[in-house]
Amino acid sequence: MTTADLHLHTLYSDGTDTPRRVVELAKQAGLSAIAITDHDILDGYPEAFHAATELGIELLPGLEMSASSDGREVHVLGFLIDLADQPFQQLLADQRLRRIERIHEMIARLQRLGVVVTADDVFAEAGVEGTVGRPHVARALVRRGYVSTAKEAFDRYIGNHAPAYIPGSPMGPREAIHAIRQAGGVPVLAHPIYLKDDTVIEQLSREGLVGLEVYHSSHSPELIAHYEQLADHLGLLRTGGTDYHGSSKEGVPIGSVTVPYALVEALKQWKQNR
């Protein structure tokens, strides 16, 4: 059976591998199709497409958009985006500017806590290619010796209920869904386990959401069965993937969570019939 992994990150966001390396690992894992879904950026696609063409893997244009609702982060995957859509590209540029502002706000809070880390430390972790986010702050804290692991950084300093936490994108998930659809894409709610609230999924399904990431590396078999039922009940397409981040999320290799290629075909069919 041909399979796909539809949730992969590169160093253009908070992953650690180049797009080419991600494609090479997907080839080694025997995948037929993948989607690189970096946060609020599509810039890794050209390099990945070149490698995918060379290695015989189908690459879906994709990304993971940041949004928030009632103080909670909500991430919306967008598949089959029109890369030439300029309004959407401008929206992503605005999202990335907000990310930079957020880092400066977090650094100010950390410094008030006596943690001597700078914005430049964080941006050095992110590199110059793509988006910056909390995982880069966590890596800077590890490098500075304030914590031993990224998990400890989130638990002590930058997690949702930690003292240096700053909310992310002010965009609501409804707006993210609309923007993806306007750019020709298919909006899918990412890793619903982190929401822990099915009523949000039900509401978004009435506001243009098309799919649900049923299969994810953080979903137990019981949760998968639950989300399969929920997706079918709401008429949402199913997707899934590893949520691979390279060495920043160890133990989750590419291809450890896959979906049948039929689910890729369902995404294409929805786009064709929209």
Tens place of pLDDT for every residue, the chain, 274 residues? 799 999 999 999 999 999 999 999 999 999 999 999 999 999 999 999 999 999 999 999 999 999 998 878 899 999 999 999 999 999 999 999 999 999 999 999 999 999 999 999 999 998 877 899 999 999 999 999 999 999 999 999 999 899 999 988 899 999 999 999 999 999 999 999 998 899 999 999 999 999 999 999 999 999 999 999 999 999 999 999 999 999 877 668 998 999 999 999 999 999 999 8
The architecture that CATH gives domain 91-158 is Orthogonal Bundle (1.10)
- CB of 37 closer than 8 Å to CB of 9: yes
- CB of 164 closer than 8 Å to CB of 113: yes
Predicted pLDDT at 72: 85
* Alpha-carbon distance values, 241 to 30, 153, 217 (Å): 14, 25, 7
How many whole angstroms from its chain centre is CA 132? 12
Rounded-to-10 torsion of CA 254, 214, 199, 94: 40
Predicted pLDDT at 250: 66
Residue 147: DSSP 8-state: -
How many whole angstroms from its chain centre is CA 52? 20
Which residues belong to CATH 3.20.20.140 in the chain? 3-88+172-273
Query: What is d(CA 183, CA 185) in angstroms, rounded to the nearest whole number?
Result: 6
In degrees, to the nearest 5, what angle opens at C-alpha 52 toward C-alphas 214 and 272?
55
Predicted pLDDT at 251: 66
**Residue 95, token pair as written in the block:** 């999202």
Query: What is d(CA 62, CA 57) in angstroms, rounded to the nearest whole number?
Result: 15
Tokens 């509401």, residue located: 203
- CB of 5 closer than 8 Å to CB of 254: yes
Which residues belong to CATH 1.10.150.650 in the chain? 91-158
- CB of 180 closer than 8 Å to CB of 78: yes
The architecture that CATH gives domain 3-88+172-273 is Alpha-Beta Barrel (3.20)
